[in-house]
Structure 1
Amino acid sequence: MLFKFKSLATADLIMLEPNGRRVLQIIGKSPDDSHGIVTVAQIPAAIAALETAVLADDAVRAAATDDDEGAPDDGRELPRDSVSLRQRAAPFIDMLRRSAAEDHDVVW
């Protein structure tokens, strides 16, 4: 399954299911709904939640590179060449910012 995010302010953004689910969970939306909306009023909180999650993911990755074993403390395996949350969330954060600037909701 794919998530297709739409806004009148930007081009469509397509994410694979695992990435879309993660982003939706971070912003407090249900990834199980096939359709949803992030209203203009909800966008600042969504951006803040994503930026907080990105910083936390960056910290885990930094700790993993310092650790001889390369694994975070919570037991998850972290491939060193994997795509970070920062990279995956950047297009969505940009979509949210541009949508807020033009007063448009984001739907999927």
Structure 2
Amino acid sequence: MLIRFKSPVAADVLMLGDNAQQLLRLVGREGQLKGIFEVDDQPHIIELLDAAVAAEAQAAEAAADAGGKAPARPLVSLRQRVWPLREMLHQAHRERVAVVWGV
């Protein structure tokens, strides 16, 4: 399944369903096949995504500092996966428009 995030001020962001659901879970919208990020909610959503990226980086750093074997790095990191949606949210917030998915 593919999920397409849309905004009138940015190119569509298309994600595989599992990856999109991971990001939606990070912002408290897990399991929603359709939805909207309202303008007033966008800064908080960006903060949640940034916090998740920072937490992933800290966990990898902590594992390396502990001298243990670092967990296998995914082919696409969370930072890379979040970036297109994060940029769309920034642009949408600047232009005061919503971001929708699944419609």
Cα distance, 1:14 vs structure 2: 0.4
Cα distance, 1:65 vs structure 2: 3.6
Between Structure 1 and Structure 2, the one with more helix by share is 2
Cα distance, 1:3 vs structure 2: 1.1
Secondary structure of the 1:79 match is coil
Question: Hey, what does 2:4 align to over in structure 1?
Answer: 4
- 5 Å-filtered alignment, 1:1-108, equals 1-30=1-30, 32-66=31-65, 67-70=67-70, 78-80=71-73, 82-108=75-101
Secondary structure of the 2:55 match is helix
Q: Gaps (5+ residues) in structure 1?
A: 71-77
Cα distance, 1:82 vs structure 2: 2.9
Which has the higher relative contact order, 1 or 2, with Cα contacts under 8 A spaced 6 or more apart? 2
Aligned AA (2:94): A
* More displaced 10-residue stretch of structure 1: 96-105 or 81-90: 81-90
Aligned pair in 2 of structure 1 residues 81, 5: CA closer, same or farther (>3 Å)? closer
TM-score (norm 1): 0.84
Q: Gaps (5+ residues) in structure 2?
A: none
Secondary structure of the 1:83 match is coil
